[in-house]
Structure 1
Amino acid sequence: MYGCERREDGSITGYDQYGYDGREFMALDTQNGIYIPTMAQITTQRWNSPEVQAEERDKNYLENECIEYLQKHVENGREDLERRVRPRVKVSGQQKGDSMKLHCQVYGFHPRAVDVKWMNGKDEVASYETTNVLPNPDGTYQIRVSAEVTPKEGDNYICNVDHKSLEEPLNIVWEKKDGYKTTGTSDTSSDSSNAHAKA
């Protein structure tokens, strides 16, 4: 497998790795411009030899041609790559004996990268269950993060959502009322990126 990357600071990096029979075989050290053997001593010596110079040819490809192709793909996909859709958030809670299972459903967002966590005031609550980020038919994404807690007086449970489409993270508050299931949702039509939701 091989590939190249142009970082935000303009620097270029790449990789070129080979496998054989389910194991690593050899890899190109792009900084020093030589192939490093994992189990392919003879092949590596031949590829690094002055007669073959495979390492120079492949390093040149990764740093030039591959980057040109990458830039073309980025230009062709720019509209989708730069698309920003604010997440919608719904919180809910289910009584489970003495504890409460809190759910934070985040959906309809783009791009894919998102950070979702439950907080109790300023303290992060350990996640009980997190789904993978899943695609929606419209090209947006969704995720659900759950936490099992035993609410005490003064606890303040918040689902914190951070995403590129937001100027600052969304904070959706869950509040318990008389032991019943309660829910809250974010108001994505509002200009405010912080929402306080009560059942």
Structure 2
Amino acid sequence: MRKVEPEYWERNTQIAERNEVTDRHNVKILMERFNQTRGFHTFQLMYGCELDDDGSIRGWNQYRYDGGEFMALDTQTWTYTATMSQALISTQRWNSPEVRAGEIYRNYLENECIDWLKKYVENGREELERRVRPKVKVSGQHKDGTLMLHCQVYGFHPRPVDVKWMKNGVDDIPTYETTHVLPNPDGTYQIRVSADVMPGEDDSYSCYVDHSSLGAPLNIVWEPPSSWVTLVVVTVVVVALHVAAVVGFLLYR
């Protein structure tokens, strides 16, 4: 990955420090609007841009307060829309002819943001285009008459992946639990998908994995360990011996 110039970090550090001051001020303003005098409160800003392979671009700019949607930029009209009544005073001012904040942000999202995105892609092209095949491990647990299936997919890159359990190679099984795609220390990713099923005598279960590093999707079949079969046989034998001993005791009493 190419390194950016030292001035990049200095410039962005200064921007972050200025934003911290602004955000502290914004929190105080919002606390007044919500009639709050104390407590822990959060003010969040999310913005960014996308550049697709066909050249189309998309941008967004959203604000949240205490986890709830506060206001957002409508990229069709390039005006701000309030999702809380306390945001109306802000959207009215930002949408006014004197301020036109939406148009200012439009210029940033469609130009400067895209320029930076292209630089980031070029600098990190080697890492972004790296393809690492996923490793897959399947396991199962019998509990209370049901079978809990686990599919652990790990060591893959890039991040996007499709993982699900299949019954008899055809039917999707409703997912019982799915973790988020999590990063590994080496830059690869991992995910676990679990399903709770009622096993049938002739049913087979497989974990379906589709990833850009694969020529074709994987279907890893879960097979019960042979020790489970042995355990069932031993249990039957022990029960049979116990019954025989009881019968013998009754006959020779």
TM-score of the pair, normalised by structure 1: 0.78
The residue that corresponds to 1:115 in the other structure is: 162
Q: Is the radius of gyration larger for structure 1 or structure 2? A: 2
Structure 1 segment 22-61 matched on structure 2, within 5 A: 24-38=69-83, 39=85, 40-61=87-108
Structure 1 segment 3-18 matched on structure 2, within 5 A: 3-18=48-63
- SS of the aligned residue for 1:180 comes to helix
Question: Higher helix share goes to which structure?
Answer: 2
The residue that corresponds to 2:39 in the other structure is: none
Q: Which has the higher contact order (CA 8 A, sep 6+)?
A: 1
Q: Distance in 2 between matches of 1:5 and 1:128?
A: 33
Closer, same or farther: CA 99–167 of 1 in aligned 2, 3 Å: same
Aligned length: 181
**Match 1:69 to one of 98, 116, 119:** 116
Question: Higher strand share goes to which structure?
Answer: 1
- Structure 2 segments unaligned to the other structure (5+ residues): 1-44, 230-253
Checking the alignment, whether the CA contact within 8 Å between 1:14 and 1:62 is kept in structure 2 is yes
Q: Which residue type is aligned with residue 10 of structure 1?
A: G
**Match 2:195 to one of 147, 167, 171:** 147
**Match 1:167 to one of 215, 230, 239:** 215
Q: Which residue type is aligned with residue 61 of structure 2?
A: D
Q: Distance in 2 between matches of 1:158 and 1:22?
A: 39
Q: Distance in 2 between matches of 1:105 and 1:21?
A: 35
The list of structure 1 runs, each at least 4 consecutive aligned residues, that deviate by more than 6 angstroms after superposition, is none
Structure 1 segment 126-137 matched on structure 2, within 5 A: 126-137=174-185
Using the TM superposition, give the Cα deviation of residue 141 of structure 1 relative to its aligned residue in structure 2, in angstroms.
1.4
Q: Which residue type is aligned with residue 130 of structure 1?
A: T
Closer, same or farther: CA 24–142 of 1 in aligned 2, 3 Å: closer
Closer, same or farther: CA 103–42 of 1 in aligned 2, 3 Å: closer
- Report sequence identity in percent: 67
Using the TM superposition, give the Cα deviation of residue 25 of structure 1 relative to its aligned residue in structure 2, in angstroms.
4.3
- Structure 1 segments unaligned to the other structure (5+ residues): 182-199
TM-score of the pair, normalised by structure 2: 0.63
Q: CA deviation digits over 1:85-119, x for unaligned, max 9?
A: 00011122233353332222211111122111111
Q: Distance in 1 between matches of 2:57 and 2:189?
A: 30
Q: CA deviation digits over 1:179-198, x for unaligned, max 9?
A: 628xxxxxxxxxxxxxxxxx
Using the TM superposition, give the Cα deviation of residue 175 of structure 1 relative to its aligned residue in structure 2, in angstroms.
2.2
Checking the alignment, whether the CA contact within 8 Å between 1:95 and 1:179 is kept in structure 2 is no
